[in-house]
Chain A
Amino acid sequence: MSAITRVTAGIQHLGRRVIDGTSRLGRATLFLARLVPGLGAVLLRARLIVQQLYMTGVLTLVIILVSGAFVGMILALEGYNTLVKYDAQSSLGLLVALSLTRELGPVLTALLFAGRAGSALTAEIGLMKATEQLAGMEMMAVDPLVRVVAPRFWAGWIAVPLLAMIFTAVGILGAYVVAVGALGLDGGVFWSQMQSGVSVTNDVMGGLIKSAVFGFVISWIAVFEGYDAKPTSEGVSRATTRTVVSSSLAILGLDFIMTAFMLRGL
């Protein structure tokens, strides 16, 4: 008897999780549908976007520059040690450039952005909700969606592709420094192999499209989780964690799907 009750309770628990997840997805979609048409009203207050670009983009720049340089240098060292076995170290530039433009640049930037800026967005909006600042705005007939949420969303979306391009460029420069400075490769070969193998339309634009999609998804998740958070300190902390977890999973899942489409020649 008790075994049956336990099984029933387990199934009930599973059902509640599914219903919760689905309704959360529904709320997020409705939220996005309210957010996007407000673009006109946000553009009238471009100053707010500039301010948020500073908070999300410029302040994330340091971690992006440092990680980009190190990732490039590591790729150069690792790649060199493998390629030199086949006497193909002249392809090092190509290896580094393709890895960075196609995958590592967009994905690592998005993951770092989710941790550095996405969590901050959620915490900020969630705390505004918990301290009833959003309700206060509504009392003053100011739509918090336009005044608070939308500038953060659009600024995040703009910032991620820019950061990804900077990450990739810095990574390639870091790889160049290691390959030419420390490992003694020829600089001309490094660049020419890269130029003959990297296609602007496929690789560079593909990376740009990926990072734009990531930026959209991270910003969406971050502002939604903040807006949807339970207005308690525990609720805000949970929402912040959820932002990082779900955007990281979304980034990696979407990356796989987009890569599969791009490799088939979208």
Chain B
Amino acid sequence: MQMKSMEFTVGLFVVAGLLALAMLALKVGNIHVLGAGQTYAVTADFNNIGSLKSKAPVTVAGVRVGEVAAITVDPITYRAVVTLDILKKYRFPRDSSASIVTAGLLGEQYVSLSPGGSRHDLKNGGKIRITQSAIVLEQIISQLLYSKAGHS
């Protein structure tokens, strides 16, 4: 009897440990639900990506529809080429635009898509032509100071 209750508590202990791991993986961490084959890739060129990082979310109207797959620099134009993995169930017109925005003042940066009106959809390997770069706080401040100095 005593052995049985001991076995039961040990079993409970192991289950609790595994449940804690599952909670850490699912609730605390972000297991990427975007599997291979469920997404298509499009690229967008930006003049400045600010501090955008790969794995940052791609959203439409605030809803997450994909993530940033890779960030490289075009060796000819010297613009940043951002590859976006977008879930296949979402289709966007070819003249959609992409902008890099910040969540809150000090929050992380993500890519926000605004759908256009074209009848043709973006395909795998397609390119988003209308982009808006990240707002770099230092540049705004220096512009502000410059315009102030111009007034006085």
Q: Give residues in A with beta carbon < 8 Å to B.
A: 47, 50-51, 53-54, 57-58, 61, 86-88, 90, 97, 101, 161-163, 165-166, 168-170, 172, 191, 194-200, 203-204, 208
Chain B residues, CB < 8 A from A197: 108
Q: Are B28 and A194 in contact (CB under 8 A)?
A: yes
- Specify which of B3, B9, B13, B30 is in contact with A199 (CB 8 Å cutoff): B30
Chain A residues, CB < 8 A from B6: 50-51, 54
- Specify which of A101, A162, A169 is in contact with B14 (CB 8 Å cutoff): A162
| Chain B proximity of A46: nearest CB distance (Å) | 10
Q: Does B16 contact A (CB under 8 A)?
A: yes
| Chain B proximity of A100: nearest CB distance (Å) | 9
Q: Does B148 contact A (CB under 8 A)?
A: no
**Bound complex: CA of A172 vs CA of B29, how far in Å?**
12
- Specify which of A47, A50, A194, A208 is in contact with B21 (CB 8 Å cutoff): A208
Given contacts A54-B6, A54-B9, A54-B10, whether A196 and B28 have CB atoms under 8 Å apart is no
Q: Are A196 and B20 in contact (CB under 8 A)?
A: no
Q: Are B23 and A196 in contact (CB under 8 A)?
A: no
**Bound complex: CA of A121 vs CA of B17, how far in Å?**
22
A-B contact count (CB 8 A): 80
Can you list 29 residue pairs at the A/B interface with Cβ under 8 Å? A50-B6, A50-B7, A53-B10, A54-B6, A58-B13, A61-B13, A86-B106, A87-B106, A88-B106, A97-B28, A101-B24, A101-B28, A162-B14, A162-B16, A165-B21, A166-B17, A166-B20, A169-B19, A169-B24, A172-B24, A172-B28, A197-B108, A198-B28, A200-B24, A200-B25, A203-B29, A204-B21, A204-B28, A208-B21
3 tightest Cβ-Cβ pairs between the two chains A and B: A162-B17, A200-B29, A169-B20
Chain B residues, CB < 8 A from A204: 21, 24-25, 28-29
**Bound complex: CA of A161 vs CA of B20, how far in Å?**
11
**Bound complex: CA of A53 vs CA of B18, how far in Å?**
15
- Specify which of B13, B18, B19, B24 is in contact with A168 (CB 8 Å cutoff): B24
Main secondary structure, interface of B, reads helix
**Bound complex: CA of A44 vs CA of B106, how far in Å?**
57
Chain B: interface residue count, which band? Answer: 20 to 34
Chain B residues, CB < 8 A from A198: 28-30
**Bound complex: CA of A160 vs CA of B13, how far in Å?**
12
Given contacts A86-B106, A169-B24, whether A200 and B9 have CB atoms under 8 Å apart is no
> Considering only CB atoms, which chain A residue lies closest to B104 in the complex?
A90
> Considering only CB atoms, which chain A residue lies closest to B32 in the complex?
A200
**Bound complex: CA of A51 vs CA of B8, how far in Å?**
11
| Chain A proximity of B28: nearest CB distance (Å) | 5
| Chain A proximity of B127: nearest CB distance (Å) | 27
Chain A residues, CB < 8 A from B30: 195-196, 198-200
**Bound complex: CA of A192 vs CA of B14, how far in Å?**
28
| Chain A proximity of B100: nearest CB distance (Å) | 16
> What 0/1 readout, one digit per residue, does chain B (89-117) give for beta carbons within 8 Å of chain A?
00000000000000011111000000000
| Chain A proximity of B23: nearest CB distance (Å) | 5
Given contacts A54-B6, A54-B9, whether A199 and B29 have CB atoms under 8 Å apart is yes
**Bound complex: CA of A170 vs CA of B7, how far in Å?**
23
Q: Does B141 contact A (CB under 8 A)?
A: no
